[in-house]
A and B are shown apart, each in its own frame.
Chain A
Amino acid sequence: MAQVLSLHAAERRQLAAWACDAYPHEACGLMLGVSEADGVRVLEVRRARNLNVERARDRYDIDPADYLAAEREATARGCELVGVWHTHPDHPARPSPTDLALAWPGWSYVIAAVTAAGMTELRAWRLNGGHQFDEESIEEADPS
């Protein structure tokens, strides 16, 4: 059964805004949330610095200092880092071979496709036991 990634509309809008802000470069960041029986519930999306300035149009490499700050925030809030998000400028929201090669198990990977007109697609993926991506279903979280 496909896992579910629960995301508030406000967080989705935030991702779209960052995707447009960074375009034509990639934007990236981390997601704080909680693991549940059927997936993860995202509480907050955070933007991170992309250290790969040489290939910022098609690669991302999250600053470890931003990772550390996000992890500390998660610990303080009693939640955890549940995944990673990044954008694919002018490219579908499917994991690339590079995404697959560099992915870690146990995290949701949210990918936003973005063009000059804005975010066109948002999909989520998670590694399975065979180190392949399975798609997760993105559901809009209850606004409460």
Chain B
Amino acid sequence: MSHIVIRIPTPLRGHTAGADEVPVEARSVGEALARLGELHPGILERVLDGDGQPRQFVNIFLGSGNVRALDGMNTPVRDGDVLAIIPAVAGGGHESGGCKTESPSGTDYRA
């Protein structure tokens, strides 16, 4: 087991009583996030989809690397690692219509 820290983004700190980071012990990214979910129920629904993968509007970075480009949830962690939950920050001014996307809150939206 490695001792790592998970960075919590501002929009999700309501699930961690305002804490900006949560220390956990884990061997992989998936284990670390599962431990986060045990400590703070409800947060994982905002981070992972039904298959246990990062949601469309969430990135998980281990250090400076996106875990999607590493070994996903199986990416091993080491003592001192920092795992950052990064909300996708997006939007736009005009509407062309017809596109369908999933919102961060999990509801479908048709523009």
Question: What is A's interface to B at a CB cutoff of 8 Å?
Answer: 26, 28, 30, 48, 52, 55, 57-62, 64-65, 67-68, 71, 75, 80-82, 84, 86-89, 91, 95-99, 101-107, 109, 131
Contacts and interface: CB of A to CB of B under 8 A. Distances in A.
Interface of A is mostly: mixed
Contacts of A59: 90-92
Interface in B60-110: 61, 64, 66, 84, 86-96, 101, 103-105, 109
Contact of B90 (A52, A82, A89): A52
B35 interface: no
Interface of B: 7, 9-11, 13-14, 20, 57, 59, 61, 64, 66, 84, 86-96, 101, 103-105, 109, 111
B18 to A, nearest CB: 10
Contacts, number: 104
B72 to A, nearest CB: 16
Contact of A81 (B10, B91, B101): B10
Contact of B91 (A57, A71, A96): A96
Given A65-B64, A99-B92, 10 more contacts: A52-B92, A58-B93, A59-B90, A64-B66, A64-B86, A82-B10, A88-B93, A102-B91, A102-B101, A105-B14
